[in-house]
Amino acid sequence: MLQLDVKTIYFLVGLFATTTGLVLFALSTTGRFDRWLKYWGISNIATGSGILLLTFRDIIPDFYSIVLANMLAIIGYYLLMATTQRLYHRRRIAVKPHLLFLGILTVLFILMRDADSYYAERTVLTALTCGFYAYCVAKSTLRIARKEDITSAYLVSGIFTVATVVFAMRAIAGLTHHLGGDSVFASGGVNMWTILLAAIIGPLWNMSMLLMIMERINRNWIGRALRDPLTSALNREGLKAAIENNSMRRQSDAHPVTALLLVDIDHFKQVNDKLGHAFGDQLLCTFADIVHHQLRSSDLFARQGGDEFVIILPASGEKEAQDVAERLQNSFAHATEKLKQDGLSITLSIGIAVAASDQIAHSLNSLMEQADSALYQSKHHGRNRITSAQAA
């Protein structure tokens, strides 16, 4: 019967991580993915290579099997953290503090490179550092799960939370000298359990990361199909899909009414004729930015076509809709103040309609007609007005 010792388990874990990293890195060279895939691949290669070097302890110089092995494993976790933070923030993280920290760690490992000494101290340093980076991954993926409603990101966050706990246990065991032996290949105590858990967690987090990223890509592609490419507002199909979404129904069910605003930019044709279509597009984007800053996360914003937009305010009545409309008019007037120098008075005409929340999905067309009639009254009575369907 085949029996695996600790060194063999380490070797298999390192081999799996390295192979996975090479596959991911190869995929990143196709140009179909963002840089995060390359970072993820390199992180696996670094961690796997470090673990593989570890298994050659007493065969190769201690510098390679201790200093380089530990630092490669730590750098792998750092790159994984950088990958997830880039996925969440979509910007680069501060590199210099981490490079300084990693440089200090390298010096410490060089000073403690004797294989027969400092085993517990090296274990504590590696466990604390990798545990910190695992915690950062768990935190970033939890934010992705909550902000973007990606189910698989909860799984990734859970797995890295477990990894954080495992590293914390290993660090405590090192501090209290309860690792179960005086070597990384000792077959008892906490040392044995942590490497077995690593053998399980490693493949799991790579598979869960892949699920999260594929779900995210799928959401992005669907989102692009349902959004106006110029303003990032929903298009007509996107508005319909959002209204039918369960999350909106849950919010609407708890409140009796929902308001709809139909907004039109006054004299928009004059802007295109006098300043050009490029400036007109810029004006539409300016309006969209104002709306995005004014609305709640539960509100819906869609472009009907041209310079006409729809805003749906769940759990809001006529008064709340009037308040939102006035804020939009004031903000837009401030943003277009300079256009008066060109003889253009660009304002907003708005029509408001209110309906029962539980009827929105079934009566959207009727509600749009009511708001359109109110908008017509705003236009007819001199523009730059807010008219309610109740008074139209």
Tens place of pLDDT for every residue, the chain, 392 residues? 345 688 888 898 899 999 999 998 898 888 776 677 888 899 999 999 999 999 998 899 999 999 999 999 999 999 989 888 877 665 567 788 999 999 999 999 999 988 778 888 999 999 999 999 999 999 988 988 887 778 888 998 999 999 999 999 999 988 988 887 778 887 777 777 888 888 888 888 888 888 887 777 776 666 667 788 888 888 888 888 778 764 445 444 556 888 999 999 998 888 888 889 899 999 999 999 999 888 887 788 999 888 999 999 988 888 999 999 999 999 999 998 887 777 788 899 999 999 887 777 777 888 899 999 999 999 988 889 999 987 55
Please name the residues in contact with 266: beta carbons below 8 A apart, sequence gap of 6 or more.
345, 346, 347, 348, 349, 379, 383, 384
Q: Which listed residue (264, 307, 323, 372) is catalytic?
A: 307
Half-sphere exposure for 7 (CA within 13 Å, toward CB):
10
CA distance 110 to 113: 5
From the list 232, 257, 234, the residue with the least C-alpha distance to 319 is 257
Bridging pattern class, strands 348-356 and 257-265 = antiparallel
Phi, psi angles (nearest 5°) of residue 303: -100, 120
Q: How far is residue 360's CA from residue 268's CA, in Å, rounded to a whole number? A: 30
Classify burial at 276, counting beta carbons within 10 Å of its beta carbon; exposed 0-12, middle 13-18, buried 19 or more.
Answer: exposed
Q: Does domain 236-388 have CATH number 3.30.70.270?
A: yes
372 is catalytic: no
**What does the chain come to in residues?**
392
CATH 3.30.70.270 boundaries in the chain? 236-388
8 A C-beta contact, residue 72 and residue 47? yes
